[in-house]
Amino acid sequence: MKNKKTIIYVGGFELPDKNAAAQRVLSNAKIFRELGFNVVLIGVDKSLSQDSHIEDTKSSISGFDSWAIPYPNGKKQWLKFITSNKYIEYIVDNYYLDDLYGVVCYNYPFVAQYKIKNMCSRKNAFYIPDSTEWYESNGGGILFNTIKWLDTSLRMRFMHPQADGIITTSKYLTSFYKKRNCTTVELPTLYDVDNFNHTAPQIKQTDIIKLMYAGSAFNLKRIDKNRTNIKDRLDKIITMLEKVHHQEKTNFILNIYGLTKENYLSVFPEHTDILHVLSNHIIFHGRKPHSEIVENIQTSDFTIFLRNIERVIEAGFPSKFSESISYGTPVISNMISNIERYAVEGKNSFIISLEDNEEQVKNMVQILSLDMADRQSMKNYCLENKIFDYREYVGMVKDFLQKLEKAK
């Protein structure tokens, strides 16, 4: 195994930066490259037609050979996508057969992943899931929910424990698999800090504090009537800021990226009056290119998000937390177990209550009362500490692979 140097990384990521998964995969791939491996990426591409041949999709992204599978469109393509690994096996057999060290499956469907595991066994290669989510099965039709629940349950409870080793992203998943005697390495969403500015933008002399939320707070197509499957509690942020607005000496703007005002009010129509009152303080920008979002993260004083504490949240890692800090902007959030070891109160983050109460509003007023020097100090701290730079985790992954090799 030590003489084989190719790792195939496969999953529903859209390179180079079209979804959060792409950022995680690229950073993890750079860790493997630091350890001497040739990493090959096989993701998805929504621009490809269904009759595209995978050989025609080859490109180089960040120095990695990259291939793409057409993103499934319609029930027939979805069924094919979740049950087939023919593209992966084709690439392996025709390009990397004699050099295959292992295949890393990023949140890959159960049946397709089962076939990849068998392929790895035949080719004497490691099978390694990269597990970052425990998806809920709600918000769709009965058939969709049933298939999703079955796929997730079989993948998490049956497929992953059979792996040679598992990459996790949270304390919850690490604990879950360690109880099943699995070899694990826990990696949050990481970044290459060499791609960022190494000095925080100077905060301009102003009394207005810039807050920013970026993301898809909810899926408009699958939200249930009781609004129980909302990912980010943007509604709680807005009601909190309404109360803050009535306090003295607080002046803020919340820039919201990822949805429009109409999107938001279609789910929370009762907030029409609140948004009218806060029309000069809350601005919806809709969906924007990732480059524009990054630019606005860097020039904001804080990013902010609040989330319910439930399994789907505890199993994942909030990429918006590590992304914001890596770009030099501290985060305001409620305490989620996954960020506990990384959050340094008053340095790179502020932790506030999820609940709508007096303490929450009091804490937020104090945050929005920070002077320019304190805010600049926090931004500098975020950049200087580099806690989410992939290079900080190379040793952990090296130890993980050595354990796999000893057990093989």
pLDDT digits (tens, 9 = 90+) for 325-336: 999 999 999 998
Predicted local distance difference test score (pLDDT) of residue 149: 84
pLDDT tens readout for residues 297-309: 999 999 999 998 8
pLDDT tens readout for residues 109-122: 999 999 999 999 99
> In angstroms, rounded to a whole number, what is the distance separating the alpha carbons of residues 292 and 312?
28
Please indicate, yes or no, whether residues 258 and 330 belong to a single structural domain of this protein: yes
Nearest CA among 285, 281, 301 for reference residue 368: 301
Predicted local distance difference test score (pLDDT) of residue 400: 98
Please indicate, yes or no, whether residues 168 and 243 belong to a single structural domain of this protein: no
Region 270-289: mean pLDDT is 96
The pair of three-digit structure tokens given for residue 234, joined into one six-digit string = 């943007």
> In angstroms, rounded to a whole number, what is the distance separating the alpha carbons of residues 139 and 224?
5
User: Residue 335 in 3-state DSSP?
Assistant: coil
β-strands 64-70, 59-61: how paired?
antiparallel
Judged against a pLDDT cut of 80, whether residue 228 lies above it is answered with: no
Does residue 341 belong to any structural domain of this protein? Answer: yes
Residue 63: burial class (beta carbons within 10 Å; 0-12, 13-18, 19+):
exposed
Number of domains the chain contains: 2
Judged against a pLDDT cut of 80, whether residue 133 lies above it is answered with: yes
CATH number, domain of 101, equals 3.40.50.2000
Predicted local distance difference test score (pLDDT) of residue 195: 84
- Structural domain including 96 reads 6-189+390-407
Please indicate, yes or no, whether residues 368 and 400 belong to a single structural domain of this protein: no
pTM: 0.92
Please indicate, yes or no, whether residues 206 and 117 belong to a single structural domain of this protein: no
Predicted local distance difference test score (pLDDT) of residue 254: 98
Please indicate, yes or no, whether residues 161 and 95 belong to a single structural domain of this protein: yes
CB of 314 closer than 8 Å to CB of 294: no
Percent of the chain with pLDDT over 70: 93
The more confident residue out of 76 and 43 is: 43
CB of 325 closer than 8 Å to CB of 307: no
Predicted local distance difference test score (pLDDT) of residue 7: 98
Query: What rounded mean pLDDT belongs to the chain?
Result: 91
User: Residue 353 in 3-state DSSP?
Assistant: coil
Region 202-206: mean pLDDT is 68
Predicted local distance difference test score (pLDDT) of residue 1: 59
Does residue 141 belong to any structural domain of this protein? Answer: yes
Judged against a pLDDT cut of 60, whether residue 86 lies above it is answered with: yes
Judged against a pLDDT cut of 90, whether residue 136 lies above it is answered with: no
Please indicate, yes or no, whether residues 35 and 84 belong to a single structural domain of this protein: yes
Predicted local distance difference test score (pLDDT) of residue 77: 87
pLDDT tens readout for residues 348-369: 999 999 987 899 999 999 999 9
Maximal CA-CA distance, the chain: 69
C-alpha angle with apex 398: 92 to 348, nearest 5 degrees? 110
Does residue 127 belong to any structural domain of this protein? Answer: yes
How are strands ordered across the β-sheet holding 100-106? 59-61, 64-70, 38-45, 6-11, 100-106, 126-131, 166-168, 184-186
pLDDT range class, residue 227, cuts 50, 70, 90: confident
Percent of the chain with pLDDT over 90: 73
β-strands 184-186, 166-168: how paired?
parallel
Phi, psi torsion values for 331, nearest 5 degrees:
-120, 140
Predicted local distance difference test score (pLDDT) of residue 304: 98
Which helix (H) or strand (E) segment is 305 a member of?
A: strand 302-305
Does residue 1 belong to any structural domain of this protein? Answer: no
User: Residue 167 in 3-state DSSP?
Assistant: strand
Judged against a pLDDT cut of 70, whether residue 146 lies above it is answered with: yes
Region 62-82: mean pLDDT is 90
The more confident residue out of 203 and 381 is: 381
Judged against a pLDDT cut of 60, whether residue 139 lies above it is answered with: no
Judged against a pLDDT cut of 70, whether residue 138 lies above it is answered with: no
Judged against a pLDDT cut of 80, whether residue 81 lies above it is answered with: yes
Phi, psi torsion values for 6, nearest 5 degrees:
-105, 130
pLDDT tens readout for residues 168-191: 999 999 999 999 999 999 999 999
Please indicate, yes or no, whether residues 239 and 345 belong to a single structural domain of this protein: yes
- Report which residue type is found at 30: K
Write the Ramachandran bin of 110: left for phi over 0, alpha for psi from -120 to 50, otherwise beta: alpha
The pair of three-digit structure tokens given for residue 295, joined into one six-digit string = 């630019």
> In angstroms, rounded to a whole number, what is the distance separating the alpha carbons of residues 275 and 278?
5
Predicted local distance difference test score (pLDDT) of residue 201: 66
Nearest CA among 258, 323, 287, 314 for reference residue 26: 323
Judged against a pLDDT cut of 80, whether residue 206 lies above it is answered with: no
- 103-124 as b/e: b if 16+ CB within 10 A: bbbbbbbbbbbbbbbebbeebe
Region 372-390: mean pLDDT is 94
pLDDT range class, residue 37, cuts 50, 70, 90: very high
Please indicate, yes or no, whether residues 177 and 254 belong to a single structural domain of this protein: no
Does residue 355 belong to any structural domain of this protein? Answer: yes
Does residue 175 belong to any structural domain of this protein? Answer: yes
Does residue 72 belong to any structural domain of this protein? Answer: yes
Predicted local distance difference test score (pLDDT) of residue 250: 74
